Chain A
Amino acid sequence: MDRIPILKMGRFLLVTIQVDMHDRLAMQLQDDLTARISSESAAGVLIDISSLDVVDSFIGRMIANTAAMARVLDADTVVTGMRPAVAITLVELGLVLEGVYTALNVERGMALLQEKVAARGA
């Protein structure tokens, strides 16, 4: 079964979703990511969904949950590169990703993460 790779960049973990998300893949990602955050004691997670052009309520919730889990494990989470159609769908579904930082692209997301982690004094 294919997995979504999780890359380590300094104290941050980088996840880019490049394939169509299906439910099992999303569950797998959740497991992998939480495990990696705790093993690496990462300070921040960046999830890039710029190549995701379709979301349903399940995937939307998975993104929200994954982000929330990362926060529980004391890592700030930034979701980047969301497409307009995806944003509208999530809003219509009532999933506004509260407590998750968002940025327009990976570059800005990284800057934002650094800023937030620096502000926390971690």
Chain B
Amino acid sequence: MLREAPVSTRIPAFLKSNEKEILQDWLKEQTGAATFRADLLKEKDLREESHTFLGALQTAAQGSIEDVSGEGWSGVKDFLSDLSRSRAQAGFTPSETATFVFSLKQPLFSMLRREMKGDAEGLVKEMWGTSVLLDKLGLFTTEAYQATREDVISRQKDELLELSTPVVELWDDVLAVPLVGTLDSARTQIVMESLLEKIVSTGASIAIIDITGVPTVDTLVAQHLLKTVAATRLMGADCIISGIRPQIAQTIVHLGVDLGSVVTKATLADAFGVALERTRAKIAAPASTR
């Protein structure tokens, strides 16, 4: 194997002496590639980025070109991370992003061929070293790209969670939770917590959970709903479930879920009517007993 790759590589020296040419070739390579996005990237910016990268590469390559995990390569890696992040945000695909690094192969190889004419053994070694190095950097770019995308996904997930669980005050003493989307354990927990907190802060005595926007109700979702109802009751408030569509009513009965202990209404309006009736009755009660 070519395990004992060049002890001292001549690449840094070549990079320095051929800097202008490589940059020229590389730019031509990048702009000519099928993956070049003229709509997203200006040639001037690309030139700037390429120039910075070549500079960083030249500095880093003076150490070892085999081990890119070393400290000497942190500059190059930081640059690539930033680049991947900005490209990912601008809407480049992973291959379009990685092409930035991979397209450097062609210019570097032709430079090596020019510089090392006659030394076949040395040329092979240097080419192998360069190829491995660029592969590593290319993979690193892809990983950084992926990480950025994952950040975006997890942030959107959090935002979605926040968005989808509002607790609204309908009336004095009446709260409503319009649920939209599938209910899983994590969401139920958040709904439950925010509902109970709101009950404490507003002193509401009736909470309406509206499931018009919940696409399916299976045994698990039903159990989550029942838990929320039970917790609300423990806090001293009544709970009404509204917005049960005909299909969902059928599913619930077919599944054998017992919602008998819970007040259910077909629409939010019906539930609100019940809530108003109850609060009014409650408001009137102390006056008569006093």
Contact = CB atoms under 8 A, between A and B. Distances in A.
A110 to B, nearest CB: 10
A115 B192 CA distance: 29
A87 B234 contact: yes
B193 interface: yes
B183 to A, nearest CB: 15
B286 A111 contact: yes
Contact of A84 (B193, B230, B285, B289): B193
Interface stretch (A13-21, A28-36, A37-45, A101-109): A101-109
B234 A97 contact: yes
Interface stretch (A4-12, A68-76, A88-96): A88-96
Contacts of B235: 82, 84, 87, 102, 104
Contacts of A115: 285, 289
A80 B196 CA distance: 14
B257 interface: no
B199 interface: yes
Interface string B199-215: 11001010000000000
A108 B200 CA distance: 13
B78 interface: no
Interface residues of B, number: 21
Given A88-B192, A88-B231, A115-B289, A108 B236 contact: yes
A91 B231 contact: yes
A118 interface: yes
A109 B236 contact: yes
A102 B233 contact: yes
Contacts of A108: 205, 236
B227 interface: yes
A104 B227 contact: no
Nearest to B285: A115
B15 interface: no
Contacts of B285: 111, 115
Contact of B236 (A91, A92, A96, A102): A102
Given A115-B285, A115-B289, A88 B196 contact: yes
Given A84-B197, A108-B236, 7 more contacts: A79-B234, A79-B236, A84-B199, A84-B235, A91-B234, A92-B227, A102-B234
24 contacts: A79-B234, A79-B236, A82-B234, A82-B235, A84-B192, A84-B197, A84-B199, A84-B200, A86-B234, A87-B196, A87-B232, A90-B231, A90-B234, A91-B227, A96-B230, A96-B234, A102-B233, A102-B236, A104-B200, A104-B235, A104-B237, A114-B289, A115-B285, A118-B289
Closest 9 CB pairs of A and B: A84-B196, A103-B236, A102-B236, A87-B234, A104-B236, A87-B231, A96-B230, A91-B231, A91-B230
